[in-house]
Chain A
Amino acid sequence: MSIKFISGNEAIAYGSLQAGVKVVSGYPGTPSSEVITSLFKNKPEDLYVEWSSNEKVAFEVAAAASWAGQRALCTMKMSGLNVAYDSLASVAYSGCSGALVVYVADDPGVSAGMCEQDSRGFALISDLPMLEPASVEEAYSLTRFAFELSESTGTPVFIRMVTATALSYAGMDIKDPPVFPECEPKLIKDIAKYTKAGSAICLDQHRDVIERLAKAGEIIREKNINSLSLSPEAGGLGIIVAGAVFPYLEEGLRLVDEYGLKTGPVSTLKVTATVPFPAEEVRSLIKHCSALLILEELEPHLEKDLYIEAHKLGFSGKIIGKLDGTLSRIGDYSAEQVVKGIAAALTLKLPADLFGSEYKGEKLTASRPITTCAGCPHRGTFLAINKAIKELKMKKDEVMVTGDIGCTILGMNPPFNTVWTEISMGASIGFAQGYYHSGVKTPIIATIGDSTFFHAGLPSLINAVQHQVPLTLIIMDNGWTSMTGMQVSPGTDEKFQQPGNQRLDLAKIVPALGINHFKMINPYELEESTAAIREAMTLSGVKVILSRQECAIQAMRQGKRYGKSTVIEGNCNKCKLCITVTGCPAISLGEESIVIDPAICYGCGLCSQVCNREAIERGPVKDVL
């Protein structure tokens, strides 16, 4: 036992160890990645952990382990759930044999990027129970419960957290996990359960999944996972508060009190298991109260069911939430929404300047578009694409460059302004094909990172080859899944792979697909890279360029420097070309010349190649990755 300062994600990891988890798989994605990162650091010998090639594969690995009777965990961010869902829905209908817990992290308020989607909808479509920890502490205790619930009902169980809880740190008393007896895998042959062979089986499974959810609902009720607290006297305000919003309730009530406003009797229902809908508790609350407030982030899922129950009971009081327009479906919550909701439900008058005042000062903030790191290999690729387009006497707005997920998307920002689209993992390649079929006559370029290519780019490239779509695919291979915090990908150098794992080399895989033209480039050599991209753009068929250099941040962490660039003061006339073209964060304007910060310069030499006054000397360079 020891007090540790841990994040919500780490709490999931510790909770899983407490539950005797045997197999853990996932794909990196902020804000969910630390579960697996921390398990790698803190791994008991008999636990199997992997970063899978994508979330669908990760889910299948975990699901099969649970079908063999083990306890398994699978982790992903909300976008990953979209990828995993095909298999997940099928497994939901089959159920599981051991325990299967799926952890998904949503991002209300969007601090990590991508769609502000509410993954509770997925639990609803597939009739799977969903638990939503309100704090780091609850993440720990609910994880253990999730495994027990899954095992006792034979249903996969979701744990859903939001960024604020997943990435928050709190002091926790962590016990050493108990010793679990060795659990032998079971091979269970059960066609009616593990296949979808025929409508009779499928209809039975649909009935089963509904029954399993009902059974899970009973256990959730018996264990008081959702807690109802009714005021001594009837009437007054009833507040339903879901998952991560709960900690703001007390704070909001206190604020209302501080403003000198009277709430009268308040009853609360804390909903921790948001699926299945806690109808019985909600009915008790409706019968007890004269006005209702529902606090849930993102979509009004609980609220809609609340309306149904209220209608059935003939409730005639106010229901305040999103559907009446008081609260928003957009963004994350704090005590602010609690206060607004209470005021609306009880018709209290809040001080006028309380929230949402206009801060004109905020508009003075200088915009700070994010760019690639100093020495980032992607910088070279973007510069080469821009240069190739120019050398072919085309304008940048004539050449579609589709983009993908990860650090490679930074090509959409200045100074590059190279990339046009960001959709989902691997989509750059499919979109490039659709643009071609739409009749676009100018060259089409798709850009993608290595990890993203392994994740979902491969099937799209196969489609392009089969249908012979003339496009230039540039795979920017930096050897890591960088954006999410430097996880190992299938292409990462052998020495960073788990013992016994094998590295996959894109330089061997891609040419084997039967593409028409393949070339490997070093993105730090601008002329050479530009020439290769220019050539590919003029050829027919599917062309792939593999632009390969290790992520500069990771390389520097290993103490590597690609080279050394030095300013020759006398030659620099401060024309700023190196800054405008490369946007490298290591370069700034000094008194006499530009200045390179030796602490962050990787020595990639791109600035020196851009300078036309020989004012940056490029030292000797080392080999490519």
Chain B
Amino acid sequence: MYYDIYLVGVGGQGILTIGEIVAEAALKRDLPANFYPTKGMAQRGGFVKAQLRLGRDNVGPSIAEKGADLVIAMELSESLKALRYLKPDGDFVLYSSVWSPTAVMLGKAPYPTVEEVLAEIEKTGGKIIHVKPEGRPEFEGQPVPENVYVLGAACRYSSLGRFINPDEIRVTLENRWKKGVERNLYTFDAGMSSTL
């Protein structure tokens, strides 16, 4: 069984970490994984993408157009760059947070609305899983990390949960960060029980 994931966002959202966690969980049960992050200018708040291909040995790193079973997009405007990679029957997880470029902040450049983006995703024929940033809870007074929250929601509502057992993700989270295990598990479960 193959499963291809296309991730997009901006530097600083931890989008690459989502890919690493899923890849790690896959490897742990001997499922081949090829993870290809493209950081670009991640450090400088630029566009970031990653491609994760599970289930095949020696698979090519790049997903062809209309080839992704799952898209996870963490920034509203950048999510549009993933449209062409979604399979017609794939799942599109949109976390609609907004990171305004300076020109947008100054009111000098346009920025798409949530409705516009949802309409564009709809045209691809894929299933929309819209995770709203407003629903992100707090843990000990601090908003929980977005990436782990989105990963939880993706496990619950997309085909990812059928491919990787959420418990395997939980174990990976525990091993990855010895500090803040509780917080990460809380975040992941909050994502799992989020309402769309």
Which A residues are within 8 Å of any B CB, using their own CB? Answer: 3, 5, 111, 134-138, 164-165, 167-171, 244-248, 251, 255, 332-336, 339, 354-357, 359-362, 364-373, 410, 414-415, 553, 576, 579-580, 583, 585, 588-589
When the two chains form their complex, are residues B44 and A370 in contact, meaning their CB atoms are under 8 A apart?
A: yes
- Residues of chain B within 8 A of A245, CB atoms compared: 60
The docked-state distance in angstroms from the alpha carbon of A362 to that of B123 is 12
- The residues in B between 28 and 72 inclusive whose CB is less than 8 angstroms from any CB of A are 32-38, 40-41, 43-47, 56, 58-67
Asked if A355 contacts B105 (CB within 8 A), the reply is: no
| B129 proximity list for chain A (CB < 8 A) | none
Question: Of residues A137, A138, A362, A370, which shows the largest number of chain B Cβ atoms within 10 Å of its Cβ?
Answer: A370
Taking a contact as CB atoms under 8 Å apart, the answer to whether A364 and B112 are in contact is yes
| B77 and A365 form a contact (CB under 8 A) | yes
Asked whether B65 lies within 8 Å of A361 as measured between CB atoms, the reply is no
The stretch of B80-88, B130-138, B145-153, B154-162 in contact with A is B80-88
The 3 closest A-B pairs by CB, nearest first: A361-B120, A247-B60, A164-B61
Question: Which residues, 86 to 109 on B, are CB-close (under 8 Å) to A?
Answer: 100-106, 109
Q: How far is the CB of B110 from chain A (nearest CB, A)?
A: 7
Q: Which residues of A contact B33 (CB under 8 A)?
A: 5, 169-171
Contact mask B103-128 → A, CB, 8 Å, 1/0? 11110011110001100110100000
**Contact between B65 and A356 (Cβ–Cβ < 8 Å)?**
yes
B35 lies within 8 A of A366 (CB): no
Task: Report yes or no: A553 in contact with B43, Cβ–Cβ below 8 A.
Answer: yes
Shortest beta-carbon distance from A9 to chain B in Å:
12
Q: Are A335 and B77 in contact (CB under 8 A)?
A: no
Is A247 touching B44 in the complex (CB atoms < 8 A)?
no
With A251-B64, A357-B84, A366-B103 given, can you name 8 additional A-B contacts, CB distance below 8 Å? A170-B34, A171-B27, A251-B56, A366-B111, A367-B103, A367-B109, A370-B46, A585-B45
How far, in Å, is B18 (CB) from chain A's closest CB? 14
| Size class of the contact patch on chain B | 35 or more
Is there contact, CB below 8 Å, between B43 and A335?
no
Q: Flag if B34 contacts A169 (CB, 8 Å).
A: yes
Give the Cβ gap from B22 to chain A, nearest Cβ, in Å. Answer: 12
Q: Which residues of the other chain, A, contact B189 by a CB distance below 8 angstroms?
A: none
| Interface residue from B41, B43, B44, B103 paired with A414 (Cβ < 8 Å) | B103
In the complex, the answer to whether A361 meets B83 with C-beta atoms within 8 Å is yes
> Nearest Cβ in chain B — how far from A461, in angstroms?
28
B47 near A169 with CB under 8 A, answer: no
Question: Are A251 and B112 within 8 A (Cβ)?
Answer: no
Contact among A111, A137, A362, A373 with B80 in the assembled complex (CB-CB below 8 Å): A362
Closest-by-CB residue of A relative to B10 is A368
Let me know if B106 and A362 touch, CB within 8 A. Answer: no
* Residues of chain B within 8 A of A255, CB atoms compared: 64
Known: A111-B40, A357-B84. A366 touches B63 (CB 8 A): no
Contact B105 A251 (CB under 8 A): no
- Which residue on chain B has the smallest CB distance to residue A486? B43
Structural contact, A164 and B10, CB atoms closer than 8 A: no
- Please state if A168 and B64 are interface contacts (CB–CB under 8 Å): no
Are B23 and A365 in touch, CB under 8 angstroms? no
Closest residue of B by beta carbon distance from A8? B61
Known: A164-B62, A553-B43, A585-B45. A576 touches B104 (CB 8 A): no
Is A354 within 8 A of B109, CB to CB?
Answer: no
In whole angstroms, how far apart are the Cα atoms of A414 and B77 in the complex? 20
Can you give 14 contacting A-B residue pairs, CB < 8 Å?
A5-B23, A135-B58, A167-B36, A168-B36, A334-B63, A335-B64, A355-B65, A355-B66, A359-B120, A361-B120, A368-B101, A370-B45, A576-B106, A579-B102
Q: Are B44 and A372 within 8 A (Cβ)? A: yes
B34 and A336 form a contact (CB under 8 A)? no
Q: Which of B44, B58, B62, B123 contacts A137 (CB 8 A)?
A: B58
Name the A residues within 8 Å of B46 (CB-CB).
368, 370
* B84: chain A residues within 8 A (beta carbon): 357, 359, 362
B60–A164 touching, CB < 8 Å: yes
CB neighbours of B111 from chain A (8 A)? 366
User: Which residue on B lies nearest to A589, using beta carbons?
Assistant: B105
Chain B residues near A366 (CB, 8 Å)? 77, 100-101, 103-104, 109-112
| Nearest-Cβ distance from residue A587 to partner chain B, whole angstroms | 9
Q: How far is the CA of A136 from the CA of B59 in the complex (A)?
A: 10
Q: Who on chain A is nearest to B110 by CB? A: A366
Evaluate contact between A359 and B83: CB separation under 8 angstroms. Answer: yes
A566 to B17, CA, bound (A): 32
B101 near A367 with CB under 8 A, answer yes
- In the complex, which residue of chain B has the Cβ closest to the Cβ of A358? B84
A332 touches B62 (CB 8 A): yes
Residue on B nearest A362 in the bound complex, by CB: B80
Residues B116 and A364 in contact, CB atoms below 8 Å apart: yes
Question: From residue B23, how far is it (CB to closest CB) to chain A in Å?
Answer: 7
Could you give, for residues 2-33 of chain B, a 1 whenever the CB lies within 8 Å of some chain A CB and a 0 otherwise? 00000000100000000000011001000011
Partner of A111, one of B38, B43, B117: B38
Q: For A370, what are the chain B residues with a Cβ–Cβ distance below 8 Å?
A: 40-41, 44-46
